[in-house]
Structure 1
Amino acid sequence: MHRLLTALLILGLGLGGAAQAAGLVKKFSPHSVGETMDRLEKVVNDKGLTVFLRIDHQANAKKIGLQMPESQVLIFGNPKMGTLIMQGNPAAGLDLPLRVVVYSSDDGRTWVAYHDPREIGETFGLQGNKALTKAEGALGKLTGAAVR
Structure 2
Amino acid sequence: MFQASKVAIVGLAFGAFLAPAFAAPAQEAVDRTFERIAAGVSRAGLEPVVDIDHARLAAEAGVEMPPSRVQLFSDAAVNSALLAQDLSTGLDLPFRALTYAGADAVQVSYTSADFLKRRYGLDDTEALAAFDAALAPALDGLDGVEPVPVPTEGLADGYGILTLQSAHDVPETVARLRAIVNAQSDTVWFGEVDFTAEAAALGVDLPPAVLLLFGGPAPGGVAMAKFPSIGVDAFCQKLFVHAAPEGGSVVLFNSIVALAELHYGTSAPPHAMLDERLTATFAKALE
TM-score, length-scaled by structure 2: 0.42
Map of 1:25-104 to 2, 5 A cutoff?
25-48=162-185, 49-96=187-234, 97-104=236-243
| Counterpart amino acid of residue 37 in structure 1 | V
Structure 1 unaligned blocks of 5 or more: 1-18
Deviation per residue, 1:75-108 (Å, 9 max, x gap): 1111122222222122111112111111013334
1:116 aligns with 2:249: no
- Cα distance in 2 for partners of 1:72, 1:44 equals 15
Tell me how far 1:121 sits from its aligned partner: 2.0
Residue of structure 1 equivalent to 2:127: none
- Which residue of the partner structure matches residue 23 of structure 1? 160
Question: Given that residues 227 and 260 in structure 2 are in contact (C-alpha distance below 8 angstroms), is that contact kept between their aligned partners in structure 1?
Answer: no
Unpaired runs of 5+ in structure 2?
1-119, 121-156
Where does 1:4-15 land on structure 2 (aligned, <5 Å)?
none
Give the SS at the match of 1:91: helix
Query: What is the Cα deviation at residue 144 of structure 1?
Result: 0.3
Match of 1:12 in 2: none
Q: Partners in 2 of 1:79 and 1:126 — Cα distance?
A: 24
Greater share of helix residues, 1 or 2?
Answer: 1
1:40 and 1:145 in contact (8 A); partners too: no
1:23-49 superposed Cα distances (whole Å, 9 cap, x missing partner)? 211111010111011100100111121
Task: Report the aligned-residue RMSD.
Answer: 1.9
Q: Give the ranges of 4+ consecutive aligned residues of structure 1 lying more than 4 Å apart after TM superposition.
A: none
Moved more, 69-78 or 85-94: 85-94
SS in 2 for 1:124: helix
Give the Cα separation in 1 of the matches to 2:248 and 2:176.
Answer: 17
Amino acid in the other structure paired with 1:79: P
| Partner Cα separation in structure 2 for residue 137 and residue 27 of structure 1 | 13
Percent identity of equivalent pairs? 24
